[in-house]
Chains A and B, each alone.
Chain A
Amino acid sequence: EIVMTQSPATLSVSPGERATLSCRASQSVGTNLAWYQQKPGQAPRLLISGASTRATGIPVRFSGSGSGTEFTLTISSLQSEDFAVYFCQQYKDWPPMYTFGQGTKLEIK
């Protein structure tokens, strides 16, 4: 099983500032990496797939980078609606054991 580790667990950032979230895989997943956003009481929403491709309707302030075992989600200028929990997910494994990271909570500073 590929273990995904996200850091930090909680990130405090001011609106308008940049946020950088990290995700590390226990073994290489290539670019088979997705990022999801989850707000309280809602289902997660896909932000990024293929490590760097924004999903439909996702604002350009969200960007993903990385490959292999190290990945980053960057939100360039935080808006109030961006404060949420973010999860990374690898989807390299076959059979499909698509493991998630434990999440990073992005909170208002």
Chain B
Amino acid sequence: EVQLVESGGGSVQPGGSLRLSCAASGFTFNSYWMAWVRQAPGRGLEWLASINLDGSETFYVDSVKGRFTISRDNAKRSLYLEMNTLQAADTAVYYCVREDHSTYVVWGQGSLVTVSS
């Protein structure tokens, strides 16, 4: 079964850091671009970052550029999102997604990140 499972979410104070992980199974991980998408409570979807097959190219939305880092470990079939200098506006459910011709066919279950003092 094709599956993405996120972990690492939780509560953090403003200015803090968190690292999300995403474990992939059921498909050839190193054959797909991967991405992170988030959804603030009651809001729409926001693409955050994408990474190419070997991790040599990364792309970010302006609102997280310089604060968030996407990375992957193909040997461990895992995707990561390092988040620093977190703000209240970063409170959201974070989804790990597999890119298929630039669309998101496979989604994780989501990991809730809450930034609050």
Contact = CB atoms under 8 A, between A and B. Distances in A.
B105 interface: yes
Interface in B41-68: 44-47, 50, 59, 61
Contact of B47 (A43, A45, A98): A98
B58 to A, nearest CB: 10
Interface in B98-117: 101-105, 107-110
Contacts, number: 48
A100 B46 contact: yes
A16 interface: no
Interface residues of A, number: 21
B37 to A, nearest CB: 8
Given A43-B109, A96-B59, A49 B47 contact: no
A24 B103 CA distance: 18
A32 to B, nearest CB: 7
- Grouping DSSP codes into helix (H, G, I), strand (E, B) and loop, the B interface class, with mixed when no group exceeds half, is strand
Which of B47, B61, B108, B110 has most chain A Cβ within 10 Å? B47
B44 A100 contact: yes
A44 B104 contact: yes
Judged by DSSP, the binding face of A is loop
Contacts of B110: 43
Contact of B44 (A96, A97, A101): A101
Given A55-B105, A91-B103, A100-B46, A43 B59 contact: no
Interface centre among B59, B103, B108 (most CB of A within 10 A): B103
Interface of B: 35, 44-47, 50, 59, 61, 95, 101-105, 107-110
13 contacts: A32-B102, A34-B104, A36-B104, A43-B107, A43-B109, A96-B47, A96-B50, A96-B59, A96-B102, A97-B61, A98-B47, A100-B45, A103-B45
Interface of A: 32, 34, 36, 43-46, 49, 55, 87, 89, 91, 95-103
